[in-house]
Amino acid sequence: MSDHSSSDENESPETKLRISFILSPSIRSQTQRELLELPTEPIAVPASVRKTGLSAVVNHLLDRKVPKEDDDDNSGDTDEEDESEKLPAVPFDFLLNDKLLRLPLESAARKEGLSTENALELQYFPARLPPKKEGESESLPDWITAMDYNNQAGGKEGDSGSRLFTGGADGVIRAFFSSSKGGDLQQATSVAAHSGPIKCLSTSSIGGKTLVATGSMDQTLITHLYQNNKSLDLHAVYLGGHTNSIGSVVLSNDNSPGGKTIMASGDWDGGLAIWSVPSSSDGEGVDSTGENTTKKRKGSKGGIDKSDDNSATIQEVKPLQSIKAHASNISGLAWGYNGSSNDGSSSAPTTLLTGSWDHGLKVYDTTRMDCILTLNGSRVVTSLSRCSNSNVVATSSPDCTVRLWDMRTNGEGSGGGSGMDKSLRQSHKSWVSGVQWSPTDPFVLASTSHDGTLKVWDIRSSLPLHTVKAVNKKGEKALCLTFGDGVIY
d(CA 325, CA 406): 19
pLDDT digits (tens, 9 = 90+) for 256-309: 556 688 999 999 999 999 999 998 654 443 343 445 665 554 444 443 343 344
Model confidence at 9: pLDDT above 60: no
pLDDT digits (tens, 9 = 90+) for 184-208: 788 889 999 999 999 999 999 877 7
As a whole number, mean pLDDT of residues 442-471 equals 93
Q: What is the pLDDT of residue 471?
A: 85
> Could you give the 3-state DSSP secondary structure of residue 133?
coil
Q: What is the pLDDT of residue 258?
A: 61
Q: What is the pLDDT of residue 410?
A: 57
As a whole number, mean pLDDT of residues 395-419 equals 73
Q: Which residues contact 102 (CB under 8 A, 6 or more apart)?
A: 51, 108, 461, 463
Q: What is the pLDDT of residue 458?
A: 94
Model confidence at 182: pLDDT above 80: no
Model confidence at 443: pLDDT above 50: yes
For the ranges 5-19, 177-191, 327-341, 407-421, the lowest mean pLDDT is seen at 407-421
pLDDT digits (tens, 9 = 90+) for 37-72: 999 999 999 999 999 999 999 999 999 988 765 444
Q: What is the pLDDT of residue 412?
A: 37
Find out whether 355 and 395 touch, Cβ atoms under 8 Å.
Answer: yes
Find out whether 375 and 419 touch, Cβ atoms under 8 Å.
Answer: yes
Main-chain dihedrals φ then ψ at residue 237, nearest 5 degrees: -115, 135
d(CA 373, CA 107): 39
pLDDT digits (tens, 9 = 90+) for 88-129: 999 999 999 999 999 999 999 999 999 999 999 999 999 998
d(CA 49, CA 255): 50
DSSP 3-state helix, strand, coil percentages of the chain (rounded to 5)? 10, 40, 55
d(CA 299, CA 307): 7
**What is the pLDDT confidence band of residue 242, given thresholds at 50, 70 and 90?**
very high
pLDDT digits (tens, 9 = 90+) for 64-94: 988 765 444 444 444 555 566 788 999 999 9
Q: What is the pLDDT of residue 75?
A: 44
CB atoms within 10 A of CB 485: 13
Q: What is the pLDDT of residue 421?
A: 60
> Could you give the 3-state DSSP secondary structure of residue 35?
helix
Compare 135 and 311 and report the one with higher pLDDT.
135
d(CA 354, CA 336): 10
d(CA 242, CA 15): 66
Q: Which residues contact 235 (CB under 8 A, 6 or more apart)?
A: 211, 222, 223, 224, 225, 278, 280, 314, 315
Sheet holding 209-216, edge to edge: 198-206, 209-216, 221-226, 233-238, 313-317, 293-296
pLDDT digits (tens, 9 = 90+) for 333-382: 999 987 653 333 456 788 999 999 999 999 999 989 999 999 998 899 99
Compare 246 and 74 and report the one with higher pLDDT.
246
Q: Which residues contact 153 (CB under 8 A, 6 or more apart)?
A: 161, 162, 163, 175, 203, 205, 210, 226, 227
Query: pTM here?
Result: 0.84
CB atoms within 10 A of CB 383: 23
What percent of the chain has a predicted confidence (pLDDT) above 90?
58
d(CA 63, CA 386): 40
User: Which residue, 325, 319, 322, is CA-closest to 371?
Assistant: 325
Q: What is the pLDDT of residue 281?
A: 58
Find out whether 395 and 367 touch, Cβ atoms under 8 Å.
Answer: no
Local structure of residue 276 (DSSP, 8 states): E
pLDDT mean across residues, the chain: 83
Q: What is the pLDDT of residue 230?
A: 73
Q: What is the pLDDT of residue 139?
A: 82
Report the alpha-carbon angle 106-108-110, nearest 5.
70
Local structure of residue 284 (DSSP, 8 states): -
**What is the pLDDT confidence band of residue 144, given thresholds at 50, 70 and 90?**
very high
DSSP state string for 193-227? --SS-EEEEEEEEETTEEEEEEEETTS-EEEEEE-
User: Which residue, 219, 240, 235, is CA-closest to 279?
Assistant: 235
Q: What is the pLDDT of residue 303?
A: 37
**What is the pLDDT confidence band of residue 152, given thresholds at 50, 70 and 90?**
confident
Q: What is the pLDDT of residue 301?
A: 42
User: Which residue, 188, 138, 196, is CA-closest to 167?
Assistant: 196
